[in-house]
Amino acid sequence: MFDIVCDDCGKKAQVPFKPDGERPVYCQDCYRKHRQNNRRYNRY
């Protein structure tokens, strides 16, 4: 597990992959929120 700081809310969290520094990294709650938002737009 790798320690991260969520790019959305700033909380400390852990992720099972090494962040590459180019893409945003989110805690579990923010990841879920972003994933739901993207699904709405991908339907059409």
User: Would you say 32 and 38 are in contact if contact means Cβ atoms under 8 Å apart?
Assistant: no
For position 40, what pLDDT does the model report? 62
For position 38, what pLDDT does the model report? 75
**HSE value, Cβ hemisphere, 13 Å, CA-based, for 17:** 8
Q: How far apart are CA 43 and CA 5, in angstroms?
A: 30
Print pLDDT tens along the chain (44 aa).
Answer: 999 999 999 999 999 999 999 999 999 999 999 888 777 655 55
Range of the domain at 13: 2-42
User: Would you say 34 and 26 are in contact if contact means Cβ atoms under 8 Å apart?
Assistant: yes
Q: Which run of H or E residues covers position 5?
A: strand 2-5
Neighbours of 3 (CB within 10 A): 9
Domain count for the chain: 1
